[in-house]
C-alpha cells in the first residue's frame, strides 16, 4: 500500500475478463486499488486498509445483480466492470507482506526507553508509518469527496 501511495511501480496480477458480445479486457488487480477506489457507501467512509481486508473479499462478477452484501467499486477502479466487494460471512486475519527492511524485531524499537536512541529512532518511525497505513482510515485518493 505504501508503494502505491508513493507512486512507485508495484507488481499486480493482470486479470482478463470478457463482457458478452465484446472483446477480452485486461486490467491490473491489486488490493491497494480496491482500497483506493472503495465503494462510496457509508460503511466504507472511515474503514482502514486492515479492516477492509479483514471484512470484505473481492468477487468477480458473473453477471449477477448486486445484493445487500455486495458493493460496486467506484468507476475509477481498473476492474470496475468486472469485480466488486462482498461482505465476508466471517472476518479473517489478513496476511501482511512487507520487505525485510520495513519490519524489525520489536526489541530493536527499544520501547523500554522513553526517548528513542539514534539506532531506534528510524525503526520507530518506520514501524509507526506501517502501523498507520494499516489501521487508520486513509483519505480517499481516487478523487471522491468520501
| Residue pLDDT, tens place only, 79-94 | 988 899 999 999 998 8
| Residue pLDDT, tens place only, 20-57 | 777 888 889 988 899 989 998 988 988 988 899 999 99
| Residue pLDDT, tens place only, 96-130 | 777 777 778 889 999 999 899 988 998 888 888 88
From CA 20, how far away is CA 127, in angstroms rounded? 47
Q: How confident is the model at residue 63 (pLDDT cuts 50, 70, 90)?
A: low
Amino acid at each position: 500500500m505504501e508503494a502505491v501511495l508513493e507512486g512507485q511501480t508495484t507488481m499486480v496480477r493482470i486479470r482478463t475478463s470478457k463482457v458478452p458480445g465484446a472483446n477480452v479486457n485486461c486490467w491490473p488487480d491489486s488490493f491497494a486499488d480496491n482500497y483506493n477506489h472503495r465503494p462510496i457507501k457509508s460503511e466504507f467512509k472511515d474503514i482502514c486498509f486492515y479492516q477492509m481486508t479483514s471484512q470484505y473479499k473481492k468477487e468477480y462478477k458473473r453477471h449477477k445483480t448486486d445484493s445487500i452484501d455486495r458493493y460496486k467499486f467506484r468507476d475509477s477502479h481498473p476492474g470496475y466492470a468486472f469485480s466488486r466487494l462482498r461482505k465476508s460471512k466471517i472476518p479473517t486475519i489478513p496476511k501482511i507482506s512487507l520487505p525485510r527492511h520495513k519490519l524489525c524485531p520489536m526489541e530493536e524499537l527499544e520501547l523500554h526507553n522513553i526517548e528513542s536512541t539514534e539506532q531506534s529512532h528510524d525503526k520507530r518511525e518506520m514501524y509507526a508509518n506501517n502501523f498507520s497505513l494499516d489501521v487508520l482510515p486513509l483519505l480517499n485518493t481516487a478523487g471522491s469527496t468520501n
